[in-house]
């Protein structure tokens, strides 16, 4: 199989780059990974995986002979014609996407008409046109394909292997055909379109999913006023095939490296072109407020938070990742400390990152140790070990009895059986 599949290059070995590399290596492609970070390349070459993603280390190990890591673009250019661009596009202070890493890649390209840049990084619509213009100005006739990535952290390999769709935006040339052929064995529905429409599919999808979450969070808040149970409401809504059950889990807001950044980029893009994207403003505002509502719940039960001990269970922006970017725990911890509370926390994987980001928070090293003497605890990230926690033992460790289930992931009966008070999001 490997003899028939063409070698590809992956530029940037972050989340998207490593998963793309692993996925194609698994399909039998030779993958030449290039990164400017020499220390990272050294670690990857030694078989170390710098990020936490279930199953990734195993695939990188089992496909080792087809994966190569280097700081040098030259080897990759010599052997591969498709260059998957997987560099970071973080938000700038203005909320636009920072495309400097993309432009660095463009600047490093040779004057070749046999190579193509395949854009996997999330970029605002119009980037492909701008990159093509820059390439032309530099006398570089490379082809360009937009091939946005839809993988989720925590289930990234599964998402690579079983995508809902593959989107390929191109100018109808050899490069688009070659990218389509690469993904063909996955058997996913194909959306072959122009570059700017492909770019828009990515941002619009993330914006819509964020909207769904903010929507159900607002429904949850109304449920709290009316006595309805939002889980029943979401179930009833989700069975309508026009609504669908996904992304209707209420909680303490969405985080991560994608939704907050992408909706802000789409809002800015619209604003820069003279369009006021009113709905997205509301989605962002609802999400910000949702993170803070937990503080009101704590005050409702505990009164003034000065001197109160609050434990945060889970810190990562979602389970099965060590990613702390835009995590709700950051806002919550800062708010609690500002209210004068003592905050202790535990996360099975993200704690090392979290320590640096959460000055003033205690990290005693385990869930039970973090619960010791607590007046209240908040489930922030629904790791399995918290949903399986023995609440009798937890109750003995705590001094108070309040459990705020920020993800509606706990069994209220099990919590109450431990003699504790359960408070979810949007539940009676
Ligand atoms: C998201 C998209 O789901 C991916 O399709 C996309 O490729 C990726 O962004 C990206 O643009 O790179 P990810 O950020 O990894 O993936 O995580 P999600 O599983 O989508 O969760 C995002 C946030 O929404 C988390 O904080 C999660 O707790 C929250 N969420 C999700 C809810 O609060 N409720 C839900 O019903 C679903």
Q: Residues 105-132: pLDDT tens digits?
A: 999 999 999 999 999 999 999 999 999 9
How confident is the model over 35-85, as pLDDT tens digits?
Answer: 999 999 999 999 999 998 999 999 999 999 999 999 999 999 999 999 999
Asked whether 375 and 402 are in contact (CB, 8 A), the reply is yes
pLDDT at 182: 98
Residue minimizing CA distance to atom 9 of ligand 1: 258
Residues found in the chain:
428
Active site residue 258: yes
Other beta carbons within 10 Å of 281? 13
Give the list of residues 6+ apart from residue 319 with CB closer than 8 angstroms, or none. Answer: 154, 381, 382, 383, 384
Mean pLDDT value of segment 172-199: 97
Say what the pLDDT of residue 4 is: 81
Distances (CA, A) of 307 to 284, 291, 315, 397: 31, 21, 22, 18
Give Cα separations from 196 to 14, 148, 188, 205, 230 (angstroms): 24, 11, 21, 14, 38
The closest of 81, 83, 99, 66 to 17, measured between CA atoms, is: 83
Ligand 1 closest atom vs CA 328? 26
Is residue 3's pLDDT more than 70? no
Cα separations in angstroms, 293 against 288, 298, 299, 343: 9, 9, 10, 17
pLDDT at 188 over 80: yes
Q: How confident is the model at residue 218 (pLDDT cuts 50, 70, 90)?
A: very high
Q: What is the pLDDT of residues 373-425, one digit of tens each?
A: 999 999 999 999 999 999 999 999 999 999 999 999 999 999 999 999 999 99
Cα–Cα nearest to 256, from 234, 287, 215 = 287
For atom 33 of ligand 1, the residue with the nearest CA is 254
Protein residue whose Cα sits closest to atom 31 of ligand 1? 247
Q: Which atom of ligand 1 is nearest to the CA of 317?
A: 26
Specify the ligand 1 atom closest to the Cα of 249: 36
Interval between CA 206 and ligand 1 midpoint (Å): 8
Does the pLDDT of residue 1 top 60, yes or no? no
97: pLDDT confidence band, cut at 50, 70 and 90?
confident
Ligand 1 binding pocket, CB closer than 6 Å: 122, 149-153, 206, 209, 213, 247-249, 251, 254-256, 258-259, 262, 317-318
Q: What is the pLDDT of residue 195?
A: 98
CB distance 314 to 329 below 8 Å: yes
The residue-averaged pLDDT of 165-170 equals 98
pLDDT of residue 94: 83
Question: In which band, very low, low, confident or very high, does the pLDDT at 2 lie, cut at 50, 70 and 90?
Answer: very low
State the Cα–Cα distance between residues 423 and 312, nearest whole angstrom: 14
Task: Identify which of 52, 121, 151 to mutate to test ligand 1's pocket (most ligand atoms within 8 A of the CB).
Answer: 151
Pairing type for strands 402-405 and 376-379 reads: parallel
What pLDDT was estimated at residue 61? 96
Mutate to test the pocket of ligand 1, among 209, 211, 265, 405 (most ligand atoms within 8 A of CB): 209
- Residue that has been written with the tokens 């039998």 in this structure: 28
Counting Cα atoms < 13 Å in the Cβ hemisphere of 164 gives 7
Atom of ligand 1 nearest to the CA of 151: 7
For the segment 343-387, what is each residue's pLDDT rounded down to a tens digit? 999 999 999 999 999 999 999 999 999 999 999 999 999 999 999
Select from 256, 293, 323, 382 the residue to mutate for testing ligand 1; criterion: most ligand atoms less than 8 Å from CB: 256
Q: Nearest C-alpha to atom 25 of ligand 1 is from which residue?
A: 254
Interval between CA 301 and ligand 1 midpoint (Å): 31
Q: pLDDT tens digits for 222-251? A: 999 999 999 999 999 999 999 999 999 999
Tens of pLDDT, residue by residue over 263-313, are 998 999 999 989 999 999 999 999 999 999 999 999 999 999 999 999 999
pLDDT band at residue 220 using 50, 70 and 90 as cut-offs: very high
Nearest protein CA to atom 12 of ligand 1, as residue: 258
Q: Is 353 helix (H, G, I), strand (E, B) or coil?
A: helix
């Amino acid at each position: 199989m490997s003899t028939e599949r063409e070698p590809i290059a992956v530029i940037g070995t972050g989340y998207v780059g490593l998963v793309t590399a692993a996925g194609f290596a698994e399909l039998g492609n030779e993958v030449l990974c290039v990164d400017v970070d020499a220390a990272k390349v050294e670690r990857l070459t030694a078989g170390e995986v710098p990020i936490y993603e279930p199953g990734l280390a195993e695939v990188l190990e089992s496909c080792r002979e087809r994966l190569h890591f280097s700081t040098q673009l030259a080897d990759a250019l010599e052997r591969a014609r498709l260059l998957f661009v997987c560099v970071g596009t973080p938000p700038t202070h203005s909320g636009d996407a920072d495309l400097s890493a993309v432009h660095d890649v463009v600047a490093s390209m040779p004057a070749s008409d046999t190579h193509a840049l395949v854009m996997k990084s999330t970029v605002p619509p119009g980037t492909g046109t701008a990159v093509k213009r820059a390439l032309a100005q530099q006398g570089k006739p490379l082809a360009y394909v937009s091939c946005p990535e839809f993988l989720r952290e925590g289930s990234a390999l599964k998402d690579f292997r079983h995508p809902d769709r593959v989107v390929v935006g191109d100018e109808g040339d050899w490069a688009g055909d070659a990218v389509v052929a690469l993904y063909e064995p996955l058997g996913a529905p194909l959306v072959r379109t122009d570059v700017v429409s492909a770019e828009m599919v990515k941002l619009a999808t993330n914006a819509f999913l964020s909207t769904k979450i903010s929507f159900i969070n607002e429904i949850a808040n109304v449920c709290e006023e009316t006595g309805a149970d939002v889980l029943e409401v979401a179930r009833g809504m989700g069975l309508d095939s026009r609504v669908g059950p996904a992304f209707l889990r209420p909680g303490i807001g969405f985080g991560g490296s994608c939704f907050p950044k992408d909706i802000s980029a789409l809002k800015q893009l619209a604003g820069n072109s003279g369009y006021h994207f009113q709905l997205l403003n509301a989605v962002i505002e609802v999400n910000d407020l949702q993170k803070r509502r937990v503080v009101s719940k704590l005050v409702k039960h505990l009164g003034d938070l000065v001197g109160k001990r609050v434990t945060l269970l889970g810190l990562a922006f979602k389970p099965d990742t060590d990613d702390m970017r835009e995590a709700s725990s950051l806002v919550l911890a800062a708010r609690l400390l500002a209210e004068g509370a003592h905050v202790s926390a535990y996360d099975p994987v993200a704690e090392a990152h979290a320590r640096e980001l959460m000055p003033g928070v205690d990290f005693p090293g385990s869930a039970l140790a973090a619960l010791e003497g607590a007046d209240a605890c908040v489930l922030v990230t629904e790791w399995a070990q918290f949903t399986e926690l023995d609440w009798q033992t937890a109750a003995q460790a705590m001094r108070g009895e309040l459990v705020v289930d920020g993800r509606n992931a706990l069994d209220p009966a099990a919590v109450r059986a431990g003699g504790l008070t359960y408070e979810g999001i949007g539940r009676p």
